[in-house]
Amino acid sequence: MTKTTFTTGAAIIALAAAAPAHAQVTGDTSTVTQNGSDSTVLVNQLGSDGNESTVTQAAGSTQNDTEVNQDGSGNISNVDQNGDKSLVAGRADIFVDQIGTGNDSDVGQGGDGPNDIDVVQEGTTNRSTVSQAENGSSFGFRNVVDVDQFGTSNVSTIVQGNSGISDDNQALVDQDGTGNESTIQQNILGNGDFQIADVTQDGTGNMSFVLQDEDLNEATVVQIGTTNFSDIDQNRVSVAEDNFADVMQTGTSNRSIIVQEEDLNEATVVQDGMTNESLIDQNSTNGGGSDNEALLTQIGNGNISEIFQGGTLNTADVGQFDPLGSFSSVDQVGTGNLATVTQGTAPGP
């Protein structure tokens, strides 16, 4: 068994920026700890199974780069930039590449941005967990997370700015395969605007969950295959405005649920296939909210759609082009609402 441990201070970190610290092990453990700023870590664990890499770049550090490459099965990668994930970190980049089966990647960044995290996993039953500025005393701005998973039964979880103040963050997930699952949480208990979540899943039995808080957030989900499920929840915790959600599902047995609260929210859902279900609820339970718009188009057999809107000046457009099994229910509370439902005629040749 081989164990490689690096502990470096600020003086050595300055040299590491020009000549990166390397930790190359085979089938064993690598531990790198850095204190200071402008440092680079490169870890290569290739050709064997059960490798473990731990990289810690301490609290208060800035402009650090980390790259971890693992090839095999049952590998573990842990990257923690900024220690307790609560102090101002400045710009930092993390790249993790895992190829094989049953690999686990856990990445944490704390503090201000702009910070970038890229995780690539190729294989079966891989798991990726990413958190940026999750601690309550953190400030996260202009952070980007990009997760690409290729294979079967992969799981991706992204948390950005779970509390504190967090603005202009992006979470991008691309899953290609069968039975993949994606969860994105952006600023659920904090304050922040302009969050973007983009999920693309291609395969069978995929699931996607997106939760966003505060104002001017966008969520886009594309699922191609069968038995896909999408859940977008924007701002159930506090008051927010101008949120947007867009879901496109192509296949069989797809189901989409969108919940939006308060003012000027938009929801667009397009489902192509059979036995699709969709529920759009824009704060209709207590009559609050205004100027909401919901557009739903379902093409296929056995589609079910329900749209609930509360407030005034809401618009709902529902098109289900199957006269044999479609069901539509629109509930609008207030004055000046407009609802248009078309069931039967196909949209054209």
pLDDT tens digits, residue range 8-42? 443 233 233 333 444 444 567 899 988 777 778 99
pLDDT score for 161: 74
209 — pLDDT class (breaks 50, 70, 90): very high
Rounded Cα distance, 342 and 257, in Å? 21
Question: Which range (2-6, 138-142, 212-216, 276-280) has the least confidence?
Answer: 2-6
CA–CA distance, 247 with 312 (Å, rounded to integer): 24
Span between the terminal Cα atoms of the chain, in Å: 66
Higher pLDDT, 132 or 259: 259
* Dist. CA 172–CA 143, nearest whole Å: 11
Choose among 181, 62, 153, 57: nearest CA to 107.
57
Distance of CA 307 to the CA centre of its chain: 25
Query: How many beta carbons lie within 10 A of that of residue 87, not counting itself?
Result: 18
C-beta neighbour count of 18 within 10 angstroms: 8
At residue 18, the pLDDT reads 32
Residues 339, 343, 345, 349, CA torsion sign: positive
Give the pLDDT confidence score for residue 107 in this predicted structure. 94
If DSSP codes are grouped into helix, strand and coil, which group holds residue 31?
strand
What is the rounded distance in angstroms from the CA atom of residue 53 to the CA atom of residue 17? Answer: 20
Q: What is the pLDDT of residue 240?
A: 63
pLDDT at 1 over 50: no
pLDDT the model gives residue 4: 46
Q: Is the pLDDT of residue 135 over 60?
A: no
pLDDT of residue 111: 62
pLDDT tens-digit map of 276-326: 899 999 875 656 677 789 999 988 878 899 999 888 788 999 998 877 778
Whose CA is closest to 270, among 235, 241, 245? 245
Please give the torsion angle defined by the CA atoms of residues 28, 34, 38 and 44, in that order, rounded to the nearest 10 degrees.
0
Task: Taking residues 74-93, report their average pLDDT.
Answer: 69
Comparing C-alpha atoms, which of 266, 269, 227 is closest to residue 248?
269
Q: Would you kindly state where each structural domain of the chain is located, as residue ranges?
A: 3-246
pLDDT band with cut points at 50, 70 and 90 for residue 97:
very high
What secondary structure, in 3-state letters, does 200-224 show?
A: EEEEECCEEEEEECCCCCEEEEEEE
Distance CA 2, CA 28 (A): 5
Considering the entire predicted model, what is its pTM? Answer: 0.85
- Count H helices and E strands in the chain, helices first: 1, 30
Alpha-carbon distance of 250 to 228, in angstroms, equals: 9
**Backbone dihedral angles phi then psi of residue 159, each to the nearest 5 degrees:** -125, 120
Of these ranges, 9-23, 116-130, 153-167, the one predicted with the greatest mean pLDDT is 116-130
Distances (CA, A) of 247 to 34, 53, 186, 208, 291: 42, 37, 18, 10, 20
Mean pLDDT value across the chain: 80
Residue 171, pLDDT above cutoff 90: yes
Say what the pLDDT of residue 168 is.
77
213-264 tens-digit pLDDT: 777 789 999 999 888 899 998 876 556 667 889 999 998 888 999 988 877 7
Q: Is the pLDDT of residue 53 over 90?
A: yes
